[in-house]
């Protein structure tokens, strides 16, 4: 009798847990690549999972194969582009992603997500800018958070963060179309091609939705950095409607 009661209790607990999961807001993490595939994808996904779990977001990963024909967006509050490259979406999925964001969904894009869908102008509008090139190897630079962006606790009273990563130049400077969160200092490394104003992270509204992008994250180790985690966490909070500022 006690054994059957114990099984019944366990079943009820499992059903309640499943119901809670079904009702929870979901985060769809896309890692499909039709171009270069970053070795840091697992670290990026793990960081997103760590940030999503405490706020009750259920993470679902979709890896392809590309081009992805359909996006399972029911119950999804935001989509994460974790180093997606090339034409990783088919026509139907591309149109659905664009509509999803414009109708009020969130989009969080990491590093190589800017290196995708060059023949689809709406994609540039979603992410904010397309990748152009980067100097060979890794570079070390100062990431400066803009004066109107709230400070990060992991930086203390500072606004500058020394980072070693692969540093992207973009085809256009997105300032004026987006709210720039952070820039990098080309005087600290060789090969930068954007000049004195080199945005590396930004956010902007797309229709009724919210988009957030960081050009950082080539190195897997960076996703264990406290500043990077807080930077990502703020972006995640903003695109899921849990934060008032990006």
Which of 178, 33, 21 shows the shortest CA–CA distance to 115?
Answer: 33
Write down the pLDDT at residue 14: 35
Q: What is the pLDDT of residues 69-126, one digit of tens each?
A: 999 999 999 999 999 999 999 999 999 999 999 999 999 999 999 999 999 999 999 9
Contacts of 216 (CB under 8 A, 6+ apart): 111, 143, 163, 165, 200, 201, 222, 228, 231
Write down the pLDDT at residue 64: 86
Entry pTM? 0.91
Q: What is the pLDDT of residues 38-61, one digit of tens each?
A: 999 999 999 999 999 999 999 999
C-alpha R_g of the chain: 19
CATH number 3.40.50.1970 is the correct assignment for the domain at 2-239: no
**d(Cα 240, Cα 235) in Å, to the nearest integer?**
9
**d(Cα 82, Cα 105) in Å, to the nearest integer?**
17
């Amino acid at each position: 009798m006690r054994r059957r009661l114990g099984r019944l209790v366990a079943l009820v607990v499992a059903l309640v847990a499943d119901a809670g999961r079904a009702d929870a807001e979901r985060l769809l993490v896309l890692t499909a690549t039709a171009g270069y595939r970053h070795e840091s994808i697992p670290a990026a996904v793990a960081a997103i999972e760590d940030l999503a779990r405490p706020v009750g977001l259920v993470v679902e990963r979709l890896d392809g194969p590309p081009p992805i024909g359909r996006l399972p967006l029911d119950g999804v509050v935001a989509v994460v582009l974790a180093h997606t490259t090339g034409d990783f979406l088919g026509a139907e999925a591309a149109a659905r992603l664009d509509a999803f964001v414009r109708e009020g969904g969130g989009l969080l894009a990491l590093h190589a997500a800017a290196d995708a869908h060059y023949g689809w102008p709406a994609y540039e509008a979603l992410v904010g800018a397309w990748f152009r090139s980067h100097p060979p190897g890794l570079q070390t630079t100062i990431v400066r958070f803009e004066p109107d962006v709230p400070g990060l606790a992991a930086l203390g009273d500072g606004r500058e963060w020394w980072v070693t990563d692969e540093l992207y130049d973009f085809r256009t400077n997105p300032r004026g179309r987006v709210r720039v969160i952070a820039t990098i200092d080309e005087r600290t490394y060789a090969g930068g091609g954007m000049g004195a104003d080199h945005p590396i992270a930004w956010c902007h509204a797309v229709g009724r939705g919210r988009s957030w992008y960081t050009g950082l994250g080539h190195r897997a180790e960076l996703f264990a950095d406290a500043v990077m985690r807080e930077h990502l966490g703020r972006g995640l909070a903003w695109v899921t409607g849990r934060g008032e500022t990006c």
